[in-house]
Amino acid sequence: MVSAIDQEVRILIVTPKAGQIATGNRCSAEQWVKVFRDLGHEVEMKGVGDRLREGYDVLVALNARRIPGVIEEFKDENPDGRVVVVLTGTDIYPEVGDQALVTMRSADRLVALQPKALEQVPDEMRQKTRVIVQSASPIEMSREGDFFEVAVVGHFRKVKDPLRTAMAVRLLPSASKVRVRQVGGILEERYEVLIREEVAENGRYECLGEVMSEEAGELIAGSDLLVLSSYSEGAGRVIGEAIACGTPVLSTQIDGVMGLLGEDYPGYFPVGSTEALAGLIERAESDDDFYQQLKTACAEVASLFSPETEQKAWQEMLDELTEEQSS
């Protein structure tokens, strides 16, 4: 663990609200609450729309597109406070919109969650941008049974293309032992019907609904493979969780994943390609050389997701902001 600093920083984290569903933004915010407290800082988390008060040194706000008015309110109450905006995904992909640009310009620091996200940041803002990859800790789970278990973790909304894996395993040979288990909350109502239909018609597919993050981690750790099928991601936080557990990954070839796994990772498939995904799943199940190739490629980037690396990066940025605030 990185040693706590001498000067305590009072930090406010603000995340977009999404009802009772534990979205990726909220899970990230909760993780950073723990990171900052472990470093010895005072931290509080609020949602967009909650009243902000005085008494903070630093605002950490998630998603430049979804925090309208937050920075202004924070600065009204904390005129000397510093502002960090974390670029979490829909604010920079597929492109940076006008609202996000306004927010990014008003920040003292920007945080990108993987290196390729820097390509989305305008040139004049890159000097104030820091790359901080979200860490993950391993979970020990035994992998037993007759099935080749495939995990899918993510909420049901269009950008996640959530039923692509279920569709792909319908194409597998009858002798395949693949079983898909999926967890996530329903953010778009149309998926309620689609999920029921898929469960009824697809003997390889099981939907477990929304679960606690610990249960999702256990599902990943106990699976032979994780599939991420999104159209876009800010950084695909489940990628780090899978790698920390030694579970190899198949993913759409998108910037938010390539920034973590590299351009040449062997487990990519084109966005929306059911056939390509089916082929990779079948190969991972039946070709041990390919499966080991995936595991090796994941192990080579495992150090990116070290908790110590994440703590050190956040502390260095807080030190920068504290020095600026006192000068």
Q: Please give the pLDDT value at position 324.
A: 87
Q: Please give the pLDDT value at position 5.
A: 53
- CATH (residue range 10-132+306-326): 3.40.50.2000
Q: Please give the pLDDT value at position 141.
A: 82
Report the C-alpha gap between 191 and 173 in whole angstroms. 27
How does 10-22 read in b/e, with b if 16+ C-beta sit within 10 Å?
Answer: ebbbbbbbbeeeb
- DSSP letter at 204? T
What radius of gyration, in Å, describes the C-alpha atoms of the chain? 20
Q: Please give the pLDDT value at position 145.
A: 82
Report the C-alpha gap between 140 and 159 in whole angstroms. 31
Q: Please give the pLDDT value at position 3.
A: 47
The per-residue DSSP string of 88-129 comes to -STTTSS---HHHHHHHHH-SEEEESSGGGGGGS-GGGGGGE
Tell me the mean pLDDT per 10 residues along the chain, length 327: 67 79 80 96 92 94 92 95 95 93 97 96 97 93 88 94 98 98 94 97 96 92 97 90 96 96 97 98 98 98 95 96 85
Strand (E) positions, the chain? 10-15, 42-47, 58-62, 82-87, 109-112, 129-131, 148-153, 178-183, 205-209, 225-228, 249-252, 268-269
Residue spans of the domains in the chain: they are: 10-132+306-326, 148-304
Fold designation for 148-304: Rossmann fold (3.40.50)
Q: Please give the pLDDT value at position 168.
A: 98
CATH topology of 10-132+306-326 equal to that of 148-304? yes
Q: Please give the pLDDT value at position 298.
A: 97
